[in-house]
A and B are shown apart, each in its own frame.
Chain A
Amino acid sequence: GQQVMQIPQYQHVQEGEDFTTYCNSSTTLSNIQWYKQRPGGHPVFLIQLVKSGEVKKQKRLTFQFGEAKKNSSLHITATQTTDVGTYFCAFSGAGSYQLTFGKGTKLSVIP
């Protein structure tokens, strides 16, 4: 079935540095969602992207969906310790509500 590759698996940054995680698919995606899971917590929905080339911002977070709808990225500007956690991308197949999740990128922020 469809899969997405999420890179990097781990990222350690100094507080104040920027961070980007990428989600890549070999096939066209109808949509993509991003979730954040804090250590010891459960995944929490961040955003959904549907349109080709779409860019959405949430404060210091910028989400992009590629023109070909095969890749997506999450960029955090000037990381803070509150950004620590694992970021997952996820997508649903045509006509299905079930999400397939990437393996996630675990972000550590060094104060």
Chain B
Amino acid sequence: GAGVSQSPSNKVTEKGKDVELRCDPISGHTALYWYRQRLGQGLEFLIYFQGNSAPDKSGLPSDRFSAERTGESVSTLTIQRTQQEDSAVYLCASSLAQGVYTFGSGTRLTVV
């Protein structure tokens, strides 16, 4: 697609429920990244996919977080047993080489 597409744009969930966030990167971009941004804060790295290599999961904050990517296309970020501290905007970005990112508009997750 023309840009990075994320869905849903907003998600309100009850504490303890699981959520799935979706990212559709720019066609042809081999690298895909997930970041978390809490209100008024910076960007916290979560996970990075590059082609068919094993993903870099070093930023995932707990085992409740997982992500998958199918080839060089769509990625899903799953948060199990959501907690209020998970409330944030989850940003996806994709890139070709050289690491210049194009970000999606993000999913605003609110855990109540």
Asked if A63 is at the interface of the complex by the 8 Å CB criterion, the answer is no
**Could you say which interface size class chain B belongs to?**
20 to 34
Asked if A99 is at the interface of the complex by the 8 Å CB criterion, the answer is yes
Residues of A within 8 A of B95 (CB): 97
Residues of B within 8 A of A42 (CB): 91, 103-106
Asked if B98 is at the interface of the complex by the 8 Å CB criterion, the answer is yes
> Which of A45, A48, A98, A101 gathers the greatest number of chain B CB atoms within 10 Å?
A98
B42 touches A102 (CB 8 A): yes
Asked if A20 is at the interface of the complex by the 8 Å CB criterion, the answer is no
Task: Please measure, in the bound complex, the distance between the C-alpha atom of A31 and the C-alpha atom of B41, giving whole angstroms.
Answer: 23
- How far in angstroms is the closest Cβ of chain A from B103? 4
Given A42-B105, A97-B48, verify A33-B100 contact (CB < 8 Å). yes
Q: Which residue of B lies closest to A91 (CB)?
A: B99
Interface size of A by CB at 8 A reads 20
Asked if A52 is at the interface of the complex by the 8 Å CB criterion, the answer is no
Residues of B within 8 A of A101 (CB): 35, 42-43, 45
Asked if A104 is at the interface of the complex by the 8 Å CB criterion, the answer is yes
Asked if B33 is at the interface of the complex by the 8 Å CB criterion, the answer is yes
Where the two chains meet, the residues of B that have a C-beta atom closer than 8 Å to any C-beta of A are 31, 33, 35, 41-43, 45, 48, 50, 56, 91, 95, 97-106
